[in-house]
Amino acid sequence: MSKFYVTLLAVLPLVTLVACGQPDEIDDDLNTDETPYTGDDTDDFEEVVNEAPTVLYMSPEEGAIGVFTDDTIEIRFSEPMDPATVRVGTHGNDDLPLTWNATLDAITIDADLEYSNGYGNHPELTPGRRYEFTLHAGAADQEGEYAEPLVWSFETAKRMKVELEPDLALTRTVMGNGNVHNQGGNLYVGDSGVLVDESMRALLTFDLSNLPEGAIASEATLAAEQVAVAGLPYVYLGSIYAEPVSFREITGDSYDTPATGAPESLSGNAALEVKTSDVSHIFMGALADRDGSEDRAQMMLRFAETASVNGVGDTATLDIDSVAVTLHYLAE
């Protein structure tokens, strides 16, 4: 409750006595103590006036576009409120679950909570939908003053899907001895079985420049078909991993390009089939910093071990034409 104060001054009237028959003369004897009037006989008192609570802000704001489906919905009041009187609804559900802060002047509605959004019950907001929320009449602060009812709306981001093929100019097999395989050829991961510096890794690049501004990756899956296996790479070298890297060109030194994040498993066996890996965090990071990533998502494919030096080449071959990323993203 906000208070402002009105100060009322009650001033005793001054009385002037006029001598009978002498209206222009003042009796000097009236002021017996010869002390001038100072206003000390003023009576001060205060009247408390209550202000009705108001909504300071809502999040998402009115008319927002591109709201993410897991965003938190929040309302903040100017006063501590009486929670028993506050009701918020949307699309037919007039009593959404509310979480109050400690000072009782803000509520949150977690989108992960199940509630009706007009399109059936969902565990979170639906992409590409318009939502309208209502603060119902009767919401009162702790002094019993009522807030005005409020209606506001926003739109969630659209969920989009795209298939990305690798940028062949920055997608090659690189070797520990500095050799770089030809552009467009299949990708090889493994070793020669003789020399450590003849082990092989594959560098992949995916161009993101055609995605809309503000796009946010929600899911990304790398797919690559394993078409040949020589020796026993999954016995001697472990599994193939996809790990994030960053580079501008492929040179003889690219084999040692350092990882910029945690690796994700791509293949753990010699089956000739399409292998997949969840590379969401690589694309999330690249799209979150498009200037820094230069609008590219990049990764290296490598076995857990560099080389076995067992006298036999242990290599997995991936068909370059099968390599792709299925990217789901949110955009306005």
CATH number, position 125: 2.60.40.3780
Cα angle 293, 178, 206 (rounded to 5 degrees) comes to 25
Name residue, tokens 């009705």.
52
Question: Identity (one letter) of the amino acid at 310?
Answer: N
Return the bridge partners of 242, or none: 264, 301
Q: What is the mean pLDDT of residues 70-84?
A: 91
Average pLDDT, the chain: 83
Name residue, tokens 């690249």.
286
Whether residues 63 and 43 fall in one domain: no
Name residue, tokens 């899911």.
219
- Select, from the ranges 50-59, 155-164, 190-199, 235-244, the one with the highest average predicted confidence (pLDDT): 235-244
- Select, from the ranges 21-35, 179-193, 289-303, the one with the highest average predicted confidence (pLDDT): 289-303
Question: 96 vs 22, 83, 211, 213, CA distance in Å?
Answer: 82, 13, 36, 33
Distance between CA atoms of residues 77 and 2, nearest Å: 12
Question: Identity (one letter) of the amino acid at 162?
Answer: V
Q: What is the mean pLDDT of residues 102-107?
A: 96
Whether residues 180 and 297 fall in one domain: yes
Q: What is the mean pLDDT of residues 306-311?
A: 79
Q: What is the mean pLDDT of residues 78-101?
A: 88
Last residue of a domain, one of 13, 34, 50: 50
Three-state SS at 112: coil
Query: Is pLDDT above 50 for 198?
Result: yes
Residue 111 confidence (pLDDT): 57
Residue 114 confidence (pLDDT): 45
Whether residues 46 and 60 fall in one domain: no
Question: Identity (one letter) of the amino acid at 133?
Answer: F
To the nearest whole percent, how much of the chain has pLDDT over 90?
58
Residue 221 confidence (pLDDT): 98
Residue 197 confidence (pLDDT): 74
Whether residues 278 and 214 fall in one domain: yes
Question: Identity (one letter) of the amino acid at 193?
Answer: G
Whether residues 40 and 13 fall in one domain: yes
Return the bridge partners of 8, or none: 45
List the structure tokens of 177: 């001895």
CA nearest neighbour of 200 among 172, 170, 224, 222: 172
> What is the band of 126 on the pLDDT scale with cuts at 50, 70, 90?
confident
Q: What is the mean pLDDT of residues 88-95?
A: 79
Residue 235 confidence (pLDDT): 94
> What is the band of 130 on the pLDDT scale with cuts at 50, 70, 90?
confident
Whether residues 190 and 289 fall in one domain: yes
162-174: string of b/e by CB count within 10 Å (b at 16+)? Answer: eebebeeebbbbb
Whether residues 226 and 304 fall in one domain: yes
- Tell me the per-residue pLDDT of 210-238, one tens digit each, with 9 for 90 and over: 999 888 898 999 999 999 999 999 999 99
Find out whether the peptide bond into 60 is cis, omega within 30 degrees of 0: yes
List the structure tokens of 54: 């108001």
| Strand-by-strand arrangement of the 150-156 sheet | 64-67, 150-156, 130-135, 88-90
Distance between CA atoms of residues 271 and 193, nearest Å: 21
> What is the band of 47 on the pLDDT scale with cuts at 50, 70, 90?
low
- Tell me the per-residue pLDDT of 27-40, one tens digit each, with 9 for 90 and over: 444 444 555 555 55
Q: 160 exposed, middle or buried (CB, 10 Å; 0-12, 13-18, 19+)?
A: middle
Whether residues 76 and 209 fall in one domain: no
Whether residues 12 and 140 fall in one domain: no
DSSP string, 293-326: HTTEEEEEEEESSS---SSS-EEEEE-GGG-EEE
Whether residues 140 and 39 fall in one domain: no
Whether residues 203 and 143 fall in one domain: no
CA nearest neighbour of 149 among 158, 136, 161: 136
List the structure tokens of 101: 């802060």
Q: What is the mean pLDDT of residues 125-137?
A: 85
Query: Is pLDDT above 50 for 15?
Result: no
Query: Is pLDDT above 50 for 22?
Result: no
Query: Is pLDDT above 80 for 7?
Result: no
> What is the band of 93 on the pLDDT scale with cuts at 50, 70, 90?
confident
What domain range is 305 assigned to?
A: 162-331
Tally the domains of the chain.
3
Last residue of a domain, one of 157, 183, 202: 157
- Tell me the per-residue pLDDT of 240-295, one tens digit each, with 9 for 90 and over: 999 999 999 999 899 999 999 999 999 999 999 999 999 999 999 999 999 999 99
Last residue of a domain, one of 126, 157, 188: 157
Whether residues 217 and 96 fall in one domain: no
Cα angle 182, 264, 190 (rounded to 5 degrees) comes to 40
